[in-house]
Amino acid sequence: MKTIVVVDDEPRILDLVEKILSAEGYEVVRASSGQKCLDYVTRNTPDLILLDIRMPEKDGWMVYRELRADRRTKEIPIAMLTVKANTIDRDIALDVLQVDDYITKPFSPEDLASRVKNLLGS
Amino acid sequence: MDVAELRSGLADLMADSRHELQDRFAKWIGKHMEPHGVAVDDAIGRILEEIISTLIDSVRDGGYENILLRLRDFVGKPGFEQAEAGLRAFRTILVNEVNRSMEDVETKHRMIELIYKDFDVILDGISRSHERMYALRLEKRIEERTAELLETRGLYKGLVEGSPIGVCILQDGKIEFANDELARIGGYAKEEITGMNYRLLLTPESLENYREGIERKQVELDGPLTWRAKIVRKDESLVEIEVYSVPTTFGGRPATQCMVRDISREMRIEQLRQSFFSNVSHELRTPLTTVSGYIKFLLGGKMGELNQSQMQALQAANEEADKLDCLIDTIIDLSSLDSESFRLHLGDVDIARVTGETARSKESQAKHKELRLEVNLPENLPHVVGDERRLELLMSNIIDNAVKFTPEGGTVKIAGYEEGSDVVIEISDTGIGIPKEEQSKIFDRFYQVDSSPTRTYGGAGLGLSICKEIADLHGGRIEVESDAGKGSTFKVRLPREGRPE
């Protein structure tokens, strides 16, 4: 079973994403902060990380940089799961920072599931 | 005969022939002085009488103070410039009289000698009066002009010094002049900032920008230029400034005159505004994500089968949640259009392709209402210079409106063509139309033709105002033709070459 880490400071978003992805048959690991995600990946290697950007303390970009800088985690696909802001953010995320995907909230469960499926390459 | 006897004799002679002397002098005045504005009238007659009496007294006692004092009264009056000529004439008249009436040749010669001597003294006195008079006049004029200049200078100095806008003159890399406000903006004392190299004030980035662009542009333009820069104050804090610069001359050499405004506060407000909108967007969308996510999840049957009425209820909730999401988009977009920092991301835009793709994305909506969507966009339609995403939003809003306001079974036509120097995209529908009196208002913000609480059509009334702003920013415009009940035609005109901002 593929494991997906969902990082978000909003518990209800975590609930929603967990329900959607569990229904698709994935193992969902909840991380309510960037630090918890980083702690988790020191011991485990998930198949995908869904990362919120706007979070207190460590924001999504800081977490992203740390994950990419670490030899053990740099190969894990990462998709940003963030409230839609301006299009420039999206362009920078995809073109410059080369995140694997950029999913905006609100999202439809079907869209989320299909993108996750693509990212996992199955 | 001693001098006193000689004087007395001459005075007696003058007294005896005073009327004759006066008449001849008056004649001379009439002939020579009338063109200078002196009329021979009773007043002049009285003055002549008086002058002759005074002259007789002067000749008698050899004192000239009286006659000079008397003459001084005339200083500055009309004809005074001619007084010297008048006295010379009177001297001639007097010499002639002595010549005529004196028999003793020696006495005659001594008398004439005396006349010349006396008159030299008087004429000398008069010419000194003249000089003094001219000096006085000159002094007075200088005083007046100086007062005028000081007043003007005071006025301009007050205007410049008291101005809430920084004013300075730049020349050869130096601030040659600065007012109080400029010194305040820079955080220096006026004495410190005057004479300073202005390049030291700019941040390295602004300096580069100034050297690379502004300086050259100013020379090319030879006219006013508005630009922004950041300066480092004396206390090393940063200030954002807006500069209005004009070429000028200072001390006879080319210089630049600048009006400088501290815009830090405006920039802070603008940043606050932007972060406010970004926060609002985040705070609204986070809960909406949960609301809309669960609705869609339930609708997908992932949490159990739903009966017909549960399904309908959730579908209604789902549609409204989607509208809410669109509305947030719109508000954010509008705020970014208002933003001072808003810039179009210009590029070559294949407007036919963009409109075509937008139209295709509305097909399911149209199908839902059984509308016919007829698209006729020639592939060779000229491209425009513009911001693709903004133009897409413009087309999307207008097509959305057409679909929204056209009843079931109607038709929405989308066409593209060239007209003059414009590329026109025409969107027409067979919808409810817009009454004539409403047509000028539809581009106002928050305007809805039907604003009654029971209105049939949703939306925030922001769409067309955004469209208008986007068209304006591209140097284009939107025209509307409509008859209530018969449908509407919107023409989006965009300049083929593009002349945004």
CA atoms of A114 and B94, how far apart (whole Å): 132
Q: Which residues of A touch B389 (CB under 8 A)?
A: 87
Q: How confident is the model at residue B55 (pLDDT cuts 50, 70, 90)?
A: confident
Q: Is the pLDDT of residue B388 over 80?
A: yes
Using alpha carbons, select from B293, B292, B283, B182 the residue that is nearest to residue B241: B182
Q: Is the pLDDT of residue B441 over 90?
A: no
CA atoms of B222 and B217, how far apart (whole Å): 8
Compute the average pLDDT of residues B221-232.
87
Which element (helix H / strand E) includes B386?
A: strand B384-386
State the DSSP code for A26: -
Q: Does residue B307 sit in helix, strand or coil?
A: coil
Best A6, A9, A16, A95 member to test B by mutation, with max B CBs in 10 Å, is A16
The residue written with tokens 């009425």 in the block is B309
Compute the average pLDDT of residues B387-405.
86
| Strand residues in B251-311 grouped as ranges (E) | 253-262
CATH number of the domain to which B39 belongs: 1.10.490.10
Q: Best-predicted range by mean pLDDT among A92-96, B220-224, B394-398, B456-460? A: B394-398
The pLDDT assigned to B389 comes to 78
Low-confidence ranges of chain A (pLDDT < 50): none
Which residues does B contribute to its contact with A (CB < 8 Å)? 278, 281-282, 285-286, 288-294, 296-297, 300, 302-303, 321, 325, 329, 332, 336, 389
Question: Cα-flanking dihedrals φ and ψ of residue B447, to 5°?
Answer: -95, 135
Class of domain A3-120: alpha beta
Q: Are residues B421 and B448 in the same domain?
A: yes
Query: Do the domain assignments include residue B148?
Result: no
Q: Are residues B253 and B273 in the same domain?
A: no
The pLDDT assigned to A19 comes to 95
Query: Do the domain assignments include residue B422?
Result: yes
Q: What percent of chain B has pLDDT over 90?
A: 25
SS3 for A7-40 is: ECCCHHHHHHHHHHHHHCCCEEEEECCHHHHHHH
B332 and A86 within 8 Å at the Cβ level: the answer is yes
The pLDDT assigned to B457 comes to 46
Q: Are residues B383 and B257 in the same domain?
A: no
Compute the average pLDDT of residues B109-137.
82
The pLDDT assigned to B298 comes to 94
- CB atoms near residue A63 (< 10 Å): 25
Higher pLDDT, A5 or B220: A5
Q: Is the pLDDT of residue B439 over 90?
A: no
Please answer whether residues B133 and B73 qualify as being in contact, where contact means their C-beta atoms are separated by less than 8 angstroms.
no
Please answer whether residues A31 and A60 qualify as being in contact, where contact means their C-beta atoms are separated by less than 8 angstroms.
no
pTM: 0.53
pLDDT digits (tens, 9 = 90+) for B242-286: 999 999 999 899 899 999 999 988 888 888 887 888 788 888 999
Compute the average pLDDT of residues B465-473.
84
Q: Are residues B132 and B207 in the same domain?
A: no
Q: What is the largest CA-CA distance in chain B?
A: 159
Q: Is the pLDDT of residue B3 over 90?
A: no
Q: Is the pLDDT of residue B462 over 80?
A: no
Q: How many residues does chain A have?
A: 122
Q: Are residues B363 and B493 in the same domain?
A: yes
Higher pLDDT, B218 or B481: B481
pLDDT digits (tens, 9 = 90+) for B355-370: 998 888 888 788 888 8
Whether ipTM > 0.90 holds is no
Query: Is residue A72 within 8 angstroms of chain B, CB to CB?
Result: no
- Nearest Cβ partner for B288 among A20, A87, A106: A106
Compute the average pLDDT of residues B337-353.
75
Q: Are residues B410 and B370 in the same domain?
A: yes
A13 and B290 within 8 Å at the Cβ level: the answer is yes
B300 and A85 within 8 Å at the Cβ level: the answer is no
Smallest Cα distance from A108 to chain B, Å: 6
Query: Where do the domains of chain A lie?
Result: 3-120
End-to-end CA separation in angstroms for chain A: 12
Q: Write the CA distances from B398 to B414, B443, B459, integer angstroms.
A: 10, 12, 13
The pLDDT assigned to B342 comes to 58
User: Which tokens hold the place of A31?
Assistant: 């991380």
Q: Which residues of B touch A13 (CB under 8 A)?
A: 286, 289-290
CA atoms of B51 and B79, how far apart (whole Å): 15
Q: Is the pLDDT of residue B9 over 70?
A: yes
A105 and B289 within 8 Å at the Cβ level: the answer is yes
Listed range (A92-101, B64-73, B95-104) with the worst mean pLDDT: B64-73
Q: Are residues B374 and B454 in the same domain?
A: yes
Q: What percent of chain B has pLDDT over 70?
A: 90
- Nearest Cβ partner for A109 among B297, B325, B336: B297
CA atoms of B102 and B156, how far apart (whole Å): 73
Listed range (B164-168, B372-376, B401-405) with the worst mean pLDDT: B401-405
B281 and A84 within 8 Å at the Cβ level: the answer is yes
Query: Do the domain assignments include residue B144?
Result: no
Residue B383 burial (C-beta neighbours within 10 Å; 0-12, 13-18, 19+): middle
The pLDDT assigned to B177 comes to 92
Query: Do the domain assignments include residue B174?
Result: yes
CA atoms of B10 and A37, how far apart (whole Å): 133
Q: Are residues B247 and B306 in the same domain?
A: no
SS3 for B204-239 is: HHHHHHHHHHHHHHHHHHCCCEEEEEEEECCCCCEE
CATH number of the domain to which B495 belongs: 3.30.565.10
State chain B's mean pLDDT as an integer.
Answer: 83
A12 and B290 within 8 Å at the Cβ level: the answer is yes
Please answer whether residues B53 and B47 qualify as being in contact, where contact means their C-beta atoms are separated by less than 8 angstroms.
no
Q: Write the CA distances from A10 to A14, A34, B454, integer angstroms.
A: 7, 12, 37
Q: Which residues of A touch B300 (CB under 8 A)?
A: 109-110
Using alpha carbons, select from B405, B426, B378, B380 the residue that is nearest to residue B486: B405
pLDDT digits (tens, 9 = 90+) for B319-338: 888 878 877 877 777 776 66
The pLDDT assigned to B497 comes to 67
Q: How confident is the model at residue B199 (pLDDT cuts 50, 70, 90)?
A: confident
Q: Number of residue pairs across A and B with CB atoms under 8 Å?
A: 58
The pLDDT assigned to B198 comes to 84
The residue written with tokens 């413009």 in the block is B394
Question: Cα-flanking dihedrals φ and ψ of residue B161, to 5°?
Answer: -65, -40
Q: Which residues of B touch A23 (CB under 8 A)?
A: 302
Q: How confident is the model at residue B456 (pLDDT cuts 50, 70, 90)?
A: very low
pLDDT digits (tens, 9 = 90+) for B12-47: 888 888 888 888 888 888 887 777 666 777 777 787
Q: Is the pLDDT of residue B7 over 50?
A: yes
Choose one of B285, B314, B342: the last residue of a domain: B342
- Please, how many CA atoms are within 13 Å of residue B351, restricted to the half-sphere of its CB? 30
Q: Are residues B249 and B288 in the same domain?
A: no
CA atoms of B224 and B243, how far apart (whole Å): 10
Please answer whether residues B391 and B351 qualify as being in contact, where contact means their C-beta atoms are separated by less than 8 angstroms.
yes
Query: Do the domain assignments include residue B160?
Result: no
Please answer whether residues A20 and A14 qualify as being in contact, where contact means their C-beta atoms are separated by less than 8 angstroms.
no
Domain containing B117 equals 3-138
